[in-house]
């Protein structure tokens, strides 16, 4: 993709090195980047633990592993903390997890921090990560602007050898923790002549800090969680001639954003420990109330009243407090979609637009693709200066220097050219596996991970990979990841890794290596459970179906965060599923 114009891979360093001029990592960055690379010697970053990735996983991991008395260093591709929130600066980017559940359960951290909104925006989230960094004193062990290109374990020395994009910077460690996130590797669809476009072409994860869209013709491709937020926000500028492409309409749910006072949050802090821990004891990483009854135990009137109630609460309550059966039973799912469509169709006056964004015929099973939480998306797309490009009826045939040619699906002679100044690709990620596959991991038999996972993903517990001893993953494939609120599942996984390392040290274990049979069984169990649901019937990134050529398989552990925590803990007892090699 290097040939693409206007796709500045270095946006990050050009525009993101300082966040409103307040990047507290600048000094550390300068020290690490300039201070240690000024001579010709190769710098070996040696530590007990090397963590790759500086989001929630990396930050919590560094803190927890230090508490074990381990030396820890962290390598991060971006120029600062925050992981996905370091990169995602597009208009309207905000988290769909509500306060306080999208934060770490570390008392020193939450003691002095309050958010301003129920669903915080990206700028505030980056300020939060700076607060975490300062409170836990993390930057002294972090190396930014450092991309890992290869890693291999040496069973003789018991060390991981890590290479980076800087030939003068390598790393060695006993334990390697991949906290590389689910949404790191950007997906660029193979649009014909994309490289011919002379306007501004931007992937949502490389959105510059400032971009004036007023009086500009802007096309947004993609209507996932990202596309909905971008369109909803840009549409507030009436001079922006905005086109939103919709291939699969998002079954978006009401966010019901609100301001939150510091007073309200501080008053609740006496209960934060139990509140934040309780998020780990439920299926989705949010302690939303479960439905009061099973679907069939409730009368139609009770169901309707329950749906109205959870619709009114906003956020993911509509999924997580709903009757669990809707993810497996088509009739229930259809009824739920009809409820949703009634609500949304009433908000869109234009009948053509209404049919595109909330079609009378259900576009996919509700809940089997990630819904966006919207605020005024449907009112915004209903305005005259916003055009919808219905990709159910037209294809993007090719890009030209000045825009895009679309062709009717029913008449190939019906071709239309549309001019655009800016095209925003909100086309998502090679999710869950992409960041791991790109890190150049090789197993002890010299087989690259890309070859091991060519026909399917094999992890054990969503935490380890066979023949990659002492490598651990966080926010990973085959864990609850995408169907969970991030911080609770990340804390569960890091705590598991910390417990595993502590146990290894207590027992004099050099390395643990997941057995292939255990990984096969873990994968099979996930696919079996998947087959009891409606997920396999939908093309989603949960199923690896958004990237051409990627194996189609359920990538998410479906039994929930609470079950996952229990099952993974049980495996630690007696090292079930692992080969254990003593020092
Ligand atoms: P996504 O969910 O994968 O959505 C990609 C969009 O691009 C889809 O609408 C897809 O259409 C469309 N698309 C892909 N290839 C296309 C092509 N060749 N032609 C036309 N359209 C194409 O990606 P995302 O919206 O960036 O979200 C990814 C994940 O990031 C989310 O699911 C969520 O987990 C996370 N996220 C979270 C938040 C938040 O918490 N607020 C915000 C943004 C993202 P189809 O659906 O038809 O494939």
Please write the tens of the pLDDT for every residue from 287-340. 999 999 999 999 999 999 999 999 999 999 999 999 999 999 999 999 999 999
Mean per-residue pLDDT, 493-519: 98
**Predicted confidence (pLDDT) at residue 7 exceeds the cutoff of 90:** no
Ligand 1 probe mutation, 207, 247, 409, most atoms within 8 A of CB: 247
Residue 40's pLDDT is what?
A: 78
Domain boundaries, the chain: 31-186+431-582, 194-259+277-425
**pLDDT by residue (tens digit) across 434-463?**
999 999 999 999 999 999 999 999 999 999
**Predicted confidence (pLDDT) at residue 25 exceeds the cutoff of 50:** no
| Residue 428 near ligand 1, beta carbon < 6 Å | yes
What's the CA gap between 120 and 100, in Å, rounded? 10
Mean per-residue pLDDT, 480-509: 98
Contacts of residue 56, Cβ cutoff 8 Å, sequence gap at least 6: 83, 104, 475, 486, 487, 490
C-alpha 508 – ligand 1 centre gap (Å) = 46
* pTM of the shown model: 0.94
Residue 375's pLDDT is what?
A: 98
Find tokens 């980056």 and name the residue: 126
C-alpha 568 – ligand 1 centre gap (Å) = 30
Nearest CA to ligand 1 atom 46: 248
Residue 17's pLDDT is what?
A: 28
**Predicted confidence (pLDDT) at residue 27 exceeds the cutoff of 70:** no
Which CATH number among 3.40.50.720, 3.30.930.10, 3.50.50.60, 3.90.1650.10 corresponds to the domain 31-186+431-582?
Answer: 3.50.50.60
Residue 161's pLDDT is what?
A: 98
What's the CA gap between 298 and 313, in Å, rounded? 20
C-alpha 250 – ligand 1 centre gap (Å) = 9
| Residue 392 near ligand 1, beta carbon < 6 Å | no
Residue 38's pLDDT is what?
A: 53
| Residue 486 near ligand 1, beta carbon < 6 Å | no
pLDDT band at 551 (very low <50, low <70, confident <90, very high): very high
What is the chain's mean pLDDT, rounded? 93
**Predicted confidence (pLDDT) at residue 571 exceeds the cutoff of 70:** yes
**Predicted confidence (pLDDT) at residue 13 exceeds the cutoff of 60:** no
**Quick one: what percent of the chain has pLDDT higher than 70?**
93
Nearest CA to ligand 1 atom 26: 428
Contacts of residue 361, Cβ cutoff 8 Å, sequence gap at least 6: none
**Predicted confidence (pLDDT) at residue 74 exceeds the cutoff of 50:** yes
**pLDDT by residue (tens digit) across 79-126?**
999 999 999 999 999 999 999 999 999 999 999 999 999 999 999 999
**Predicted confidence (pLDDT) at residue 545 exceeds the cutoff of 50:** yes
What's the CA gap between 293 and 284, in Å, rounded? 18
What's the CA gap between 233 and 71, in Å, rounded? 44
**pLDDT by residue (tens digit) across 379-400?**
999 999 999 999 999 999 999 9
**Predicted confidence (pLDDT) at residue 378 exceeds the cutoff of 70:** yes
Find tokens 């929130």 and name the residue: 85
């Amino acid at each position: 993709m290097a040939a693409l114009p206007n796709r500045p891979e270095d946006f990050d360093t050009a525009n993101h090195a300082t966040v409103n001029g307040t990047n507290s990592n600048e000094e550390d960055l300068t020290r690490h980047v300039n201070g240690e690379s000024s001579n010709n010697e190769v710098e070996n970053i040696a530590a007990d633990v090397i963590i790759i990735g500086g989001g929630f996983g990396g930050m919590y991991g560094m803190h927890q592993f230090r508490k074990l008395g381990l030396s820890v260093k962290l390598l991060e591709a971006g120029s600062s903390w925050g992981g996905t929130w370091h990169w995602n600066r597009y208009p309207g980017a905000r988290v769909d997890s509500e306060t306080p559940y999208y934060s770490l359960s570390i008392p020193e951290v939450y003691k002095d921090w309050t958010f301003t909104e129920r669903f915080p925006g990206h700028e505030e989230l980056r300020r939060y990560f700076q607060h975490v960094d300062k409170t836990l004193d993390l930057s002294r062990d972090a190396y930014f602007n450092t991309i890992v290109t290869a890693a291999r374990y040496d069973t003789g020395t018991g060390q991981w050898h890590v290479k980076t994009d800087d030939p003068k910077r390598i790393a060695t460690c006993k334990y390697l923790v991949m906290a590389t996130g689910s949404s790191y590797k950007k997906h660029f669809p193979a649009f014909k002549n994309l490289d011919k476009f002379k306007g501004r072409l931007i992937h949502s994860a490389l959105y510059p800090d400032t971009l004036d869209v007023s009086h500009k013709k802007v096309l947004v491709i993609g209507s996932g969680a990202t596309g909905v937020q971008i369109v909803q926000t840009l549409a507030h500028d009436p001079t922006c001639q905005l086109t939103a492409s919709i291939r699969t309409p998002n079954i978006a749910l009401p966010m019901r954003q609100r301001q939150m006072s510091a007073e309200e949050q501080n008053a609740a802090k006496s209960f934060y420990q139990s509140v934040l821990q309780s998020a780990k004891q439920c299926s989705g990483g949010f302690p939303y109330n479960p439905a009061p009854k099973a679907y069939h135990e409730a009368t139609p009137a009770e169901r309707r009243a329950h749906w109205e109630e959870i619709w009114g609460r906003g956020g993911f309550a509509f999924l997580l407090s709903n009757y669990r059966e809707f993810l497996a039973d088509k009739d229930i799912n259809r009824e739920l979609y009809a409820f949703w469509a009634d609500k949304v169709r009433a908000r869109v006056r234009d009948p053509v637009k209404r049919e595109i964004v909330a079609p009378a015929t259900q576009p996919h099973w509700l809940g089997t693709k990630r819904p966006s939480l919207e605020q005024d998306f449907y009112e915004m797309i209903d305005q005259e200066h916003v055009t919808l490009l219905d990709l159910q009826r037209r294809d993007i045939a090719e890009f030209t220097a000045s825009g895009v040619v679309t062709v009717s699906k029913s008449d190939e002679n019906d071709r239309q050219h549309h001019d655009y100044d800016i095209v925003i690709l909100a086309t998502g990620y090679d999710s869950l596996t992409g960041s791991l596959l790109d890190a150049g991991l090789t197993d002890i038999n010299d087989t690259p991970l890309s070859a091991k996972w060519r026909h399917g993903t094999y992890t054990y517990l969503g935490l380890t990979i066979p023949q990659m001893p002492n490598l651990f993953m966080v926010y990973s494939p085959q864990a609850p990841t995408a169907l969970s609120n991030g911080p609770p599942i990340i804390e569960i996984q890091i705590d598991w890794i910390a417990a595993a390392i502590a146990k290894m040290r207590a027992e004099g274990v050099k390395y643990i290596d997941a057995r292939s049979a255990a990984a096969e069984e873990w994968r099979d169990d996930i696919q079996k459970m998947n087959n009891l649901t409606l997920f396999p019937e939908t093309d989603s990134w949960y199923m690896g179906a958004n990237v051409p050529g990627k194996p189609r398989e359920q990538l998410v552990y479906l039994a929930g965060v609470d079950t996952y925590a229990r099952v993974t803990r049980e495996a630690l007892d007696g090292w079930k599923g692992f080969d254990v090699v003593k020092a």
